[in-house]
Amino acid sequence: MADITRRTVLLAVAAASAASLTGCEQPDVVQAAPATSPPMPARVPVPPGTLTELPPASGSVMAWTVDDGTSSEVVGAYSTFAAATGTRLTMFVNGIYSSWDENAEALRPLVASGQVQLANHTWSHPDLTTLDDASIQAELQRNHDYLAERYGVDARPYFRPPYGAHDDRVDAAAAAIGYTTPTLWYGSLADSGELPDQQIVDLANEWFASGRIIIGHLNHLPVTRVFDQLIDILETRALTTVTLNDVFISAAHP
Ligand SMILES: [Zn+2]
């Protein structure tokens, strides 16, 4: 049964890729292809402080998060991959990159259904510890407003400080405008720069595990060439992907 499911997923990915190459509408099979209907854990209130892991009682779930979006092609490929496989993703957006406008049509239904969650990575990716409080808030608020207007979502309370750089002052400035949850990660695909394909697979093998928040990037193509191997790792380990809103209750997402 698992093998049949996997073949279906791979065929769906192939079909979706072919469709995007030819500019055709995605075939119905892609819409119907989510690998499983995962049992979702009971949601719990988001804990105070910095987030790097999921609640201990979440079960066999992993939060796959992806950042930036410097490559429109990679944002598009991740969107196709999500649609074809049912993989749940949290995207930490920098609205300054044109990829978020260019892929809005493909992403919007995934965002509307909750399969893809959009969260705040600041507008232009500065090191927040170098900015004054007003500038920290302006960076987050501009991105917040962009996501609300373009995608109709409230990205609060999750923000990921660029480079993981934050301190008590940054956190207080962010919290004052509703971004109360600095969201870091437990393991990384380390692909903010370009890596060899196999190294991404090796890092996924090292880090994909239950309860973890994993960070990847929407910047370089190698990850898009190993999606099937990453899905393999998830399936072998019986991991279900979740968004942050899938597992946490917050004021913006009760
Ligand atoms: Zn980043």
Q: What is the pLDDT of residues 65-88, one digit of tens each?
A: 999 999 999 999 999 999 999 999
CA of 126 to the centre of ligand 1 (A): 9
CA of 22 to the centre of ligand 1 (A): 31
Q: Which stretch of 21-35, 53-67, 120-134, 162-176 has the lowest confidence by average pLDDT?
A: 21-35
As a whole number, mean pLDDT of residues 191-208 equals 96
pLDDT recorded at residue 41:
77
CA of 216 to the centre of ligand 1 (A): 9
pLDDT recorded at residue 39:
67
Give domain status of residue 75, yes or no. Answer: yes
Q: Which stretch of 2-6, 55-59, 139-143, 194-198 has the lowest confidence by average pLDDT?
A: 2-6
pLDDT recorded at residue 29:
40
pLDDT recorded at residue 34:
46
Give domain status of residue 26, yes or no. Answer: no
CA of 162 to the centre of ligand 1 (A): 5
As a whole number, mean pLDDT of residues 206-232 equals 97
Give domain status of residue 41, yes or no. Answer: no
Write out the residue range of the structural domain in which residue 57 sits. 46-249
CA of 13 to the centre of ligand 1 (A): 27
Q: Are strands 213-217 and 187-188 parallel, antiparallel or unpaired?
A: parallel
CA of 28 to the centre of ligand 1 (A): 34
CA of 121 to the centre of ligand 1 (A): 7
Give domain status of residue 202, yes or no. Answer: yes
Give domain status of residue 34, yes or no. Answer: no
CA angle in degrees (0–180, nearest 5) for 102-111-74? 40
CA of 163 to the centre of ligand 1 (A): 6
pLDDT recorded at residue 42:
87
Give bridge partners of residue 120 from the DSSP assignment: 93, 159
How many domains is the chain built from? 1
* Separation of alpha carbons 78 and 219, rounded Å: 11
Cβ(130)–Cβ(92) below 8 Å: no
CA of 26 to the centre of ligand 1 (A): 30
- DSSP output for the chain: -HHHHHHHHHHHHHHHHHHHHHTPPPPHHHHT--S--PPPPPPEEPPSS-B-B--GGG-SEEEEEEEE---HHHHHHHHHHHHHH---EEEEE-TTSTHHHHTHHHHHHHHHHTSEEEEE--SS---GGGS-HHHHHHHHHHHHHHHHHHH----TTEE--GGG---HHHHHHHHTTT--EEB--SEE---SS---HHHHHHHHHHH--TTBEEEEESS-GGGGGSHHHHHHHHHHTT-EE--HHHHEE-SS--
CATH number of the domain residue 187 falls in: 3.20.20.370
Give domain status of residue 187, yes or no. Answer: yes
CA of 69 to the centre of ligand 1 (A): 9
Give bridge partners of residue 241 from the DSSP assignment: 62
* Separation of alpha carbons 142 and 218, rounded Å: 20
CA of 124 to the centre of ligand 1 (A): 9
CA of 100 to the centre of ligand 1 (A): 14
pLDDT confidence tier of residue 92, bands split at 50, 70 and 90: very high
As a whole number, mean pLDDT of residues 210-215 equals 97
pLDDT recorded at residue 24:
41
12: pLDDT strictly greater than 90: no
As a whole number, mean pLDDT of residues 50-66 equals 92
CA of 32 to the centre of ligand 1 (A): 32
What lies within 8 Å, CB to CB, of 142 at 6+ separation is 95, 123
Report pTM: 0.85
Give domain status of residue 63, yes or no. Answer: yes
Give domain status of residue 12, yes or no. Answer: no
As a whole number, mean pLDDT of residues 140-151 equals 98
CA–chain centroid gap for 210, Å, is 16
As a whole number, mean pLDDT of residues 110-120 equals 98
Give bridge partners of residue 93 from the DSSP assignment: 68, 120
As a whole number, mean pLDDT of residues 41-69 equals 93
pLDDT confidence tier of residue 226, bands split at 50, 70 and 90: very high
Cβ(94)–Cβ(118) below 8 Å: no
Mean pLDDT in the chain? 88
CA of 3 to the centre of ligand 1 (A): 36
